[in-house]
Structure 1
Amino acid sequence: MAKTTFWDVIEKTIEKVGTPLSAKEIWDNANEIGTIGDFTTNGKTPWATIAAYCYVDINNNGEDSIVIQTSERPAQFFLRKLATKTDVEKLQKQKDTEQIKKEKVEPKKFNERDLHPIVVSYASVDTHFKANLKTIYHENSNKTTKGQNEWLHPDLVGVYFPFKDYTTETREIQDYLKISSIKLFSFELKINLNFSNLRQSFFQAVSNSSWANEGYLVTLNLDDDPTFRDEIRRLNNAFGIGLIKLNADNAYESEILFPSKINQEIDWDTVNRLANENVDFSDFLKLITEDCKLGKVKSQYDKILKPDELI
């Protein structure tokens, strides 16, 4: 008996569900309704392979393709053989409407502040950061004309100190040569990131986090559509903001999907404005100064919770 292939999974799943599906939805539904059969793969992102199969089929076979693409963002696919019998546009609109209703009624399990301890714990141990973080509460900013400070404040800021990585002698010669190994990080947090909020979220992070050595957009839930990843990659290449995917079940398995551009120079004008506008950021700078004088981390940044204390 022939083994189940990617195409078997794609065709059987779309046919059984009966509506246009994204590559990720094809994979998720195949596992849920059993159309995956005996199919196995070693790939970590089989939905990306499914998307590739569909795109190659459409590009190479034209009017004779097995699937057709019914929407762009996210990219969704339907079987051509069913499209002759079904009003595809009607199906697509019906699915979009159901998705909107689902998003409206589906209760949120997290709010953005819930994510702060996860990011703090992750950044404290991840070898790329090894940083101490502090929350910047927007409500602690000076009251200004509406819109004046929009997109000014990041959600979290962080600092890496070389105290444990470099010897005292190395740090002393760095001081003599006016070289600093201290790094500053800035983070903008989002619960969900998808096509509907990507550009706004990304440019918010560009606005409030580009001042640091590294700036990141951090999200708990990320659209898995391959075209969405391509758009993030384009924005990352153009503007330098990195992307971190949080893991709420295990903070330490969170990961950098797209690295930030490394800025050798801090934007001190923005730092100064943040310090003038927000007492939390001003305190953050004071903490850094105190620890630099001591040569060790003694100040009170956000508490690093134990694994069993996290959400």
Structure 2
Amino acid sequence: MNNGSQEMKKDYLDIVLAVLKEAKAPVSIHALYSRAQELYSAGKISQMFSTAEDGTYYPVWLALKNKEDLPFVQVSQRPITIALKEYALNAKSSTPAYGRIETHHERLLHPLLAHFAYTKWGAHTKTIYHEKALKGTKGKNSWLYPDMVGASLPTKTLSPPCANL
């Protein structure tokens, strides 16, 4: 036991190990129940989790958090995936693309959009930064994203005024 917490129950650990052995690859802790259900329906394991589907991952997460001595290791953080130790080295070297999430702020895309709007349509654009509004209740006066406006002046397509009027 670690930090006074309970270790993962043996029957629960046996089901997790059966799922990992069958997969021979990393498995998301949120997919443990469905994978175990498939094995149980196929008769490959003799017991099923006693907890509800949405709570199946919690004992695994808690064991990883408490750094218990387990026959499997955590391979990635988001989503949390686990693998047997013999498969973990291969899994860590070939981290799947979905494990890396790049985030871009909308504000960083405004110069690119402004350039595109000007070169394609001759539109002049302006970014309006209004993340903090002066009116409104506290916590509800924040804008998540800046706005952008544009105007195009079609002076090239206008014909000269008629002098005969």
Give TM class, smaller chain.
Answer: 0.3 to 0.5
More helix by share: 1
Q: TM-score, normalised by structure 2?
A: 0.45
